[in-house]
Structure 1
Amino acid sequence: MTISEQVVTGERADLLQALRRHRGFLRQTVDGITDAQAASRTTVSELCLGGLIKHVALTEERWMRFAVGGADAMESEPIDWVGQFRMVEGETLAGLLDEYDRVASRTDELVATLDLDSAHPLPVAPWFEPGASWSVRRVLLHVIAETSQHAGHADILREAIDGAKTMG
């Protein structure tokens, strides 16, 4: 059964609604731009709009792997820490958005079915409290916060391209 066939209510519906809203803001920032614009750096940072779409999709996918199988599952695929923020040769904005849609669909299905109280120890990293665990609920809140934060970054980048404002 897919998410579209299920009735999601209560807390799960609220989490999905918040995540979908911020995904929508992020997607709106790239509406109507070219691949060249999506790949362009408009600030002194390495960020570009296409790279932000790619990063948010990769981040959501990794955290949902964590929600299902813990740190080992999250770290089961290598990360290109630099390339995830850039569009590389051969990537298109449409392709990155399609991948984001695939990841989002999978997340939505998991939100409808996972035990929100199930928890896993966080991976060992200097930015995590040693020995801490996160529940699926906490993971979803983190994904919502990441998506929201990067939607704001994207809004700044888009405004520098052509003056368009998504959120202001």
Structure 2
Amino acid sequence: MSEKTDLIAMLARQRGFLRHTAQALTDEQAASRPTVSQLCIGGLIKHVRGVEESWLRFAVGGAELMNAGWEGQNWEDQHRMLPGETLDGLLEDYEETATKTEAIIATLDLDDEHPLPEAPWFPPGAKWSNRFVLQHVIAETSQHAGHADIIRESIDGQKTMG
């Protein structure tokens, strides 16, 4: 297998864990916040999709392109289900993003680097390679799949593993 194939397979695995947490939930359950956290499963799926799209735009065109698509959205709305949003719709959107991501990865040079956007959490002048960007997307997806697993267990006891 190639490195790109491995990265795509690992990202698909982590996406699968996240999607598993949403199995057989109603929209109301997917939007619920059964823990002290403000996170909900639908909101996590929505957030992870947005983050994946943002970082893939970065891989293609750098920091300037990265923030395209976030205009007019506030931070909280990126993490919750809004009126009119459905779990099925969010999962369809996430699948569409996965398809686009895999097509983009096929075209990337993993060694290409871009300067990171200016932000207090990035060192000044730092750059990330496309390889590191993909590893970051995998880690972000995995972390949020774990959050979703805790939320799902709080809803009805279902666990992704175990």
- Aligned to 2:35, the other structure's residue is in SS state coil
The match for 1:30 is: 22
Amino acid paired to 2:110: L
Measure how far apart 1:122 and its partner are: 0.2
Does residue 1:140 correspond to 2:124, yes or no?
A: no
TM-score, with length taken from structure 1: 0.93
Amino acid paired to 1:64: L
Runs of 4+ in structure 1 deviating by more than 3 angstroms, as ranges, are none
C-alpha distance in structure 2 between counterparts of 1:23 and 1:75, whole Å:
22
C-alpha distance in structure 1 between counterparts of 2:30 and 2:41, whole Å:
5
Identity over the aligned pairs, expressed in percent?
63
The match for 1:167 is: 161
TM-superposition CA deviations, 1:94-130 (whole Å, max 9, x none): 0000110111111111111111111100000011111
TM-superposition CA deviations, 1:82-101 (whole Å, max 9, x none): 11110000000000001101
C-alpha distance in structure 2 between counterparts of 1:34 and 1:10, whole Å:
39
- Aligned to 1:120, the other structure's residue is in SS state strand
Pairing 1:1-168 to 2, within 5 Å after superposition = 9-77=1-69, 78=71, 79-168=73-162
C-alpha distance in structure 2 between counterparts of 1:119 and 1:113, whole Å:
14
- Aligned to 2:128, the other structure's residue is in SS state strand
Measure how far apart 1:55 and its partner are: 0.2
C-alpha distance in structure 1 between counterparts of 2:67 and 2:21, whole Å:
30
- Structural RMSD (CA): 0.8
C-alpha distance in structure 1 between counterparts of 2:107 and 2:63, whole Å:
20
C-alpha distance in structure 2 between counterparts of 1:30 and 1:76, whole Å:
28
| Runs of 5+ consecutive residues of structure 2 not aligned to the other structure | none
TM-score, with length taken from structure 2: 0.96
C-alpha distance in structure 2 between counterparts of 1:90 and 1:43, whole Å:
23
Count of residues in correspondence between the two structures: 160
Amino acid paired to 1:35: D
